[in-house]
Amino acid sequence: MLSQIRPAIVLLALFTLLTGLAYPLAITGVAQIAMYAHANGSLAFVDGKPVGSDLIGQNFTSDKYFHGRPSATQAQDPAHPDDSTKTIDAPYNAANSTGSNLGPTSQKLIDRVTADVKAKHDAGWTGAIPADAVTTSASGLDPHISPANALDQAPSVAKARGLPEDKVRALVEAHVEGRVLGLVGEPRVNVLALNLALDSMK
């Protein structure tokens, strides 16, 4: 019986070391050498301090910054720490990535989007409102917005900062990222990168 069990134990130990230790360490080492920034979260730094990630959106609320698209992520209500069903809105909560899960016929979704569109028009936006300005992404963490969304925000950001609108628009245009390999996805603007560039403007 021992002669039958011994090979199983040896193989278990061998593959545990191989796939559970050696392989992960090798892949981690290669990633740290070949793509250090990506392997460590694609962090953005200002004066040597991390201020965010290029991959996860942030909840910018000041008029002096461009805002990302709405986020439907939530967090547990601190008033009810023992009840996980009690939640509060927590935009861009990376610990709870999710969409709203509201379908196109949901009255709650229709009411929210209608209110958001009205708020944009009241704030001075003209013409059709870009869809990503009033709808959430599937993850709730999307760091990008459409160029149209960013350009529509340019007048209010320029006004809040006392900057010429044409310079702010030029900054947006300079931060438009094209389709991957010219084929995949849509043109987009990384909100964090744009806001950091905005802070560095004289």
Rounded CA gap, 196 and 187, in Å?
19
Report whether 190 contacts 69 (CB < 8 A): no
Burial degree of 101 (CB within 10 A; 0-12, 13-18, 19+): exposed
| 34, 128, 167, 191 from 147: Cα distances, Å | 31, 14, 15, 10
Task: Supply the pLDDT for residue 190.
Answer: 96
Task: Supply the pLDDT for residue 44.
Answer: 83
The domain ranges of the chain are 2-37, 42-70+103-199, 71-100
Q: How many CA atoms lie within 13 A of 176 on its CB side?
A: 16
The SS3 of residue 35 is coil
Rounded CA gap, 144 and 93, in Å?
16
Task: Supply the pLDDT for residue 4.
Answer: 80
Task: Supply the pLDDT for residue 202.
Answer: 65
Rounded CA gap, 170 and 154, in Å?
10
- Per-residue pLDDT tens, the chain, 202 aa: give them: 778 888 888 889 999 999 999 999 999 988 888 888 888 878 888 888 988 888 898 999 899 999 999 988 888 878 877 877 777 888 888 888 877 788 888 898 899 989 999 999 988 888 889 999 999 888 888 999 999 999 999 999 999 999 999 999 999 999 999 888 888 888 999 999 999 999 988 6
Report whether 70 contacts 137 (CB < 8 A): no
Rounded CA gap, 103 and 110, in Å?
9
Question: What are the strands, taking DSSP E only, across 38-90?
Answer: 43-46, 49-53, 74-76, 87-89
Q: Give the residue among 181, 161, 185, 179 at the shortest CA–CA distance from 171.
A: 161
The SS3 of residue 142 is coil
